[in-house]
Amino acid sequence: MLSARSLFQEIHDSDQAFQLFCSIAAKGEDQGGWENGRIARLVADQELAPKIARHGADEDKHGRIFNALLHKRGLHPVEVPGDTDYTMLLERQGIGLAHARLRREEPLTERDVIVYLAHSRVTEQRAAEQMRLLRTVFGGHPELGRAVRMISADEDNHLAYCHEELLRLAAAGHGRQILRILQQTAQAEIRTYRAVSLAVMAHMGEILRWPRAKAAVLAAGVHGVYGYERFGGGWRRMTTLTMPQKLNALGGPPPQEVFA
């Protein structure tokens, strides 16, 4: 019977599939680290800048963790197929702040900050949910458990921070603009997530030599998630804002990194 647990276990048990999985994850985290680092340098708000920098440092740490998991298996990162590059596929649709914009030494506008936070709120929702799933599957695993628990906790903090900062800006009179950008971002994200999920499943299917019936069932599951998110209202969870229980989640110094 197909399940998330059996699927992830199959990927974990194959060196080649695990290598691709961790390489995709590490590249996404590295891109997020660079983006947040640049934004922290360009943002004028001196209270917000350290939180963005902390966000970027966390993403860099996650990239190192995925690379460390590869190293422990005697593996090296591999080239990531373009059709699995979630971050760049979103950028090509005009979602978030373009890399070309971030490379310029120009201070970000207030709208730029809202675009950044809305993009982060949506994508961190996805990241937090995925890591909670991995924590359920591998949280007690002797090799992966500490890594997935650490990353999952960070993603929950990132999501809480996005909620809090967007609510602060909404209270300052930007509520309608924030909602509009969140909705646009969520609609693009669910399309991109479907495309990337199908691409990842296709590459994994080739590596693991899945029979056509199994590949078809998994693809149908991806389309089913998209249908719920696009037409069943699932996307709304990405556009609501709720004050988190944990406030100032990215305030203060980052916790000491204990994974190596």
Give the containing element (helix H, strand E) for 129.
helix 110-138
In the numeric block, the tokens 């979630």 are attached to 86
Token representation of residue 6: 């059996």
Q: What is the 3-state secondary structure (H, E, C) of 96-110?
A: CCCHHHHHCCCCCCH
CB 188 within 8 A of CB 93: yes
pTM of the model: 0.94
Report DSSP state, residue 73: T
pLDDT per residue, tens digit, the chain (260 aa), is 578 899 999 999 999 999 999 999 999 999 999 999 999 999 999 999 999 999 999 999 999 999 999 999 999 999 999 999 999 999 999 999 999 999 999 999 999 999 999 999 999 999 999 999 999 999 999 989 999 999 999 999 999 999 999 999 999 999 999 999 999 999 999 999 999 999 999 999 999 999 999 999 999 999 999 999 999 999 999 999 999 999 999 986 665 544 44
Domains of the chain (ranges; CATH) run 4-238 (1.20.1260.10)
Closest CA to 244 of 136, 112, 125: 125
Rounded to whole angstroms, the Cα distance separating 98 from 133 reads: 30
By the 8 A CB rule, do 44 and 111 touch? no
Nearest to 177 by CA among 96, 232, 224, 115: 115
Return the ∠ at Cα 39 (arms to 36 and 44), rounded to 5°: 140
CA–CA distance, 164 with 88 (Å, rounded to integer): 26
